Amino acid sequence: MFIVNTNNPAQTERFGAFLSRCLPLNAVVALSGQLGSGKTTLVKGIAKGMGIKPEEVNSPSFVLMREYPGKDRTLFHCDLYRLEGVFQIAFLGLEDYFSRNGVLVIEWAQKAAALLPQEYLRININVRGELKRRLKCRAQGKSYQKIIERLKVEYGELRIKQYKRKFQITNSK
């Protein structure tokens, strides 16, 4: 597991942009969290990291699925909020998106637990305050565990560099 704490939507979006660079072709990201927790904000960040303008990304609550062509792959953004039960969700054909040369991000993914592939990245977003969020990233499968390990190293190093810059800390010997 990898946990990220953000203090505002901009930080959540920045983490999404970083995460997008770690996701392989045909990645599946399953998002959960209460209404207004920042799921779509995270998707905007993923989009930005894929070369898509974040302001073009909207929650697909009414249309269920949106496609955004990126620089080298497409972002498939699905929102299951309005659907009830596995049978309604099954008619969406989620499994068709598991190998469409893109990245599939599913909001309210807990509703489709039985339909998800064996391997995917699960992110639960918890509200910690008006703007603060805790993102818990969990790997389902070995290939996604590699993503978690990469996040621990690379995102951790990035955060240390930002902290040092902010507080003007230098490595002295």
Q: Which tokens hold the place of 85?
A: 């039960």
Q: Residue 86 CA to chain centroid, in angstroms?
A: 22
Say what the pLDDT of residue 84 is. Answer: 77
∠ CA(54), CA(159), CA(106), 5° rounding? 40
Min mean pLDDT across 68-82, 92-106, 147-161 is at: 147-161
* pLDDT category of residue 41 using cuts at 50, 70 and 90: very high
Q: Is the pLDDT of residue 164 over 60?
A: no
Q: Render 83-143 in DSSP notation, one character per residue.
A: --HHHHHHTT-GGGGTTSSEEEEEETGGGGGGGS-SSEEEEEEEE-SSS-EEEEEEEESHH
Radius of gyration of the chain (CA): 16
| Residue whose C-alpha is closest to residue 30's, from 155, 125, 102, 99 | 125
Q: Residue 106 and residue 18: Cα distance in Å, rounded?
A: 18
Of 3.40.50.300, 3.30.420.40, 3.30.70.360, 3.60.70.12, the CATH number of 2-166 is: 3.40.50.300
| Residue whose C-alpha is closest to residue 70's, from 97, 52, 44 | 52
Q: Is the pLDDT of residue 65 over 80?
A: yes
Highest mean pLDDT among 28-42, 71-85, 93-107: 28-42
E-assigned strand segments in 13-100: 27-33, 65-69, 74-79
Min mean pLDDT across 5-19, 79-93, 127-141 is at: 79-93
The b/e string for 71-109 (b: 16+ C-beta within 10 A; e otherwise) is eebbbbbbbbeebeeeeebeebebeebbeeebbbbbbbb
Q: What share of the chain is helix, strand, coil (3-state, %, to 5)?
A: 40, 25, 35
**Domain coordinates in residue numbering, the chain:** 2-166
* pLDDT category of residue 62 using cuts at 50, 70 and 90: low
β-sheet bridge partners, residue 153? none
For 171, left (φ over 0), alpha (ψ -120 to 50), or beta? Answer: beta
